[in-house]
Amino acid sequence: MSHAPEPPILIVGGGLTGLSTALHLGERCRWLLFEREDRVGGHARTDVVRGFCFDKTGHWLHLRDPYTMGLVRELLPGTTPDNELVQVARRARVLSHGVLTRYPFQANLHGLPPQVISECLLGFIRAHFDPASAEAPRNFEDFCYKRFGAGIARHFMIPYNHKIWGVHPREITAAWCSRFVPIPSLEEVIRGAVGDTPPEMGYNIHFLYPRRGGIETLTRALLSRLPTERVRCGAALERLDLGRREATIAGEVVPYRAVVATLPLPELCRRIADLPDEMARWAEKLRCTPVRYLNVATRVPPRAEYHWLYVPEERYPFYRVGIYTNAVPEMAPPGCGSLYVELSDRGPAPRLDDLMPGVAEALCVAGAIATPDDILFAELRELTYAYVVFDDHYYEAVARLRSYLEAHDIYPRGRYGSWTYNSMEDCLLLGREVAGLLGEQLRCKEG
């Protein structure tokens, strides 16, 4: 007796999480990947304009896991210059009080005005010896005061994080930051204040990046390992019916065995026809801030030598600037530069022409360019989903939604599927994790 084949596993979204899920499912299970856009990659795509390459702001590979290091090196083995991976020694700086200091701010106070250094040092020492600092912080703002003291909190941690997250650190829980915010020892802070530091210190002192074509080169290498007939672009998930186990994708009804959903979690929930009201209410609590950024092309090499610059002060319109060509000159035509500028304003969309004079002037102060005339062209772009807000509702909302969805064989994964703050490496690992889980749970055997 012949059995009807099991319906496939659907992978919704062809960013790094979706592609990694497909790669790791391999031939173990029947799967189909659907991507809404006309090409895969999601946030890991690169726009090429008049020979200048721009990622969706800097997408540098900070790998710490031996498995992903092996995978990325295997995907980009450097057998030809086109798929070479370069290792770059990080040069990250901070602009504040009119000077550039090294990153992280808290461990490199040297070079700041003396009164700022003493305020930061005394604040750190007071916090260090204050018994109250050992208590669990109430929120991210409190975390900054307890771990770094009032000076570093006021001059960098609070204003910078306010700019990047688009909400005040007081609205963010402290739980997420332990992994991402470097906390130096008292000795490191004192050494950093007097300039007694190694050239670069802290985390991620090296990063990897494709020699050519921007981060999308990695995306393409992943895609090239997948059977093309199972990857469909221009195919958006429109509706999911949990009861019937059917998805509507680009107008077509597709039965599924399980779904790996890498689209943003609230977007997924909005598409579930039979989602209970209670779950819909949890989904409504999820918050995320967008980011507007500029792709900037320069007709001469950029003046500054840093790869990226953190800009905490409110008087500047951006919170971070990066120079692709300082890492890999091939990101622009010879003798030119390509930059990204991440803007802090989340208000109504400005006109590029209104924005540029202020941005160009600030880029001169930041040392990125010598004069506004260095700019050949600029483009304004927006990421609708950039930073998930870890507010008081976050943990319960995500946990409840995830357990409900998984009970119905829907596996939300990825930066916006899992609804978290993570890196490309994390997404590659999430794809491997969910592929392993499905392979085991569904006892997939068929090709």
Ligand X SMILES: Cc1cc2nc3c(=O)[nH]c(=O)nc-3n(C[C@H](O)[C@H](O)[C@H](O)COP(=O)(O)OP(=O)(O)OC[C@H]3O[C@@H](n4cnc5c(N)ncnc54)[C@H](O)[C@@H]3O)c2cc1C
Binding residues (CB under 6 A) for ligand X: these are 12-18, 34-37, 42-44, 57-60, 62, 236-237, 262-263, 267, 291, 383, 386, 414-416, 422-425, 427
- Min dist. Cβ of residue 134 to ligand X (A): 33
- Give 117 or 259: the residue with its C-beta nearer to ligand X: 259
In the complex, least distance from residue 219 CB atom to ligand X, rounded to whole angstroms: 9
Please identify, using beta-carbon distances, which residue of 118 and 422 lies nearer to ligand X. 422
Query: Nearest distance from residue 231's CB to ligand X, in Å?
Result: 12
Cα–Cα distance between 45 and 424 in angstroms, integer?
12
Distance of CA 424 to the CA centre of its chain: 7
**Nearer Cβ to ligand X, position 43 or 146?**
43
Cα–Cα–Cα angle for 44, 412, 181, rounded to 5 degrees: 60
Element of type H or E holding 47: strand 46-49
232/257 with CB nearer ligand X: 232
Residue 163 CA to residue 161 CA, distance in Å, equals 5
CA distances from 84 to 59, 75, 346 (A): 16, 10, 37
Kindly state the tokens that stand for 55.
Answer: 């990622």
Least spacing, CB of residue 344 vs ligand X, in Å: 12
Q: Which is nearer to ligand X, 112 or 291 (by Cβ)?
A: 291
Half-sphere exposure of 198 (CA within 13 A, CB side): 4
- Beta carbon nearer to ligand X, 288 or 376: 288
Tell me the closest approach of the beta carbon of residue 92 to ligand X, in angstroms: 11
* Secondary structure class of 31 (helix, strand, coil): strand
Neighbours of 37 (CB within 10 A): 15
The pairing of strands 46-49 and 99-102 is unpaired
CB of 303 to ligand X, least distance (A): 23
SS3 380: strand
Gap between the Cα atoms of 155 and 149, Å rounded: 10
User: For ligand X, which is the closer residue by CB, 85 or 117?
Assistant: 85
Q: Which is nearer to ligand X, 121 or 268 (CB)?
A: 268
**CB within 8 A of 274, min separation 6: which ones?**
241, 242, 243
- Considering the complex, what minimum distance in angstroms separates the CB of residue 400 from ligand X? 21
Give the nearer residue to ligand X in terms of CB position, either 102 or 415.
415
Q: The dihedral of CA 398, 22, 43, 274: what is its sign? A: negative
Min separation Cβ 388 and ligand X, Å: 10
Which stretches of 175-278 are assigned E, i.e. beta strand?
206-210, 231-232, 237-241, 246-249, 252-255, 258-261
Q: What minimum distance in Å lies between the beta carbon of 47 and ligand X?
A: 14
Strands (E), 276-374: 288-298, 308-310, 318-323, 337-343
Shortest gap between Cβ of 189 and ligand X (angstroms)?
26
Nearer to ligand X, 94 or 116 (CB): 94
Give every CB contact of residue 290 below 8 A, 6+ residues apart in sequence. Answer: 166, 346, 382, 383, 384, 385, 386
The number of CA neighbours under 13 Å toward the Cβ of 284 is 7
C-alpha torsion angle, residues 262, 268, 271, 276 (rounded to 10): 140
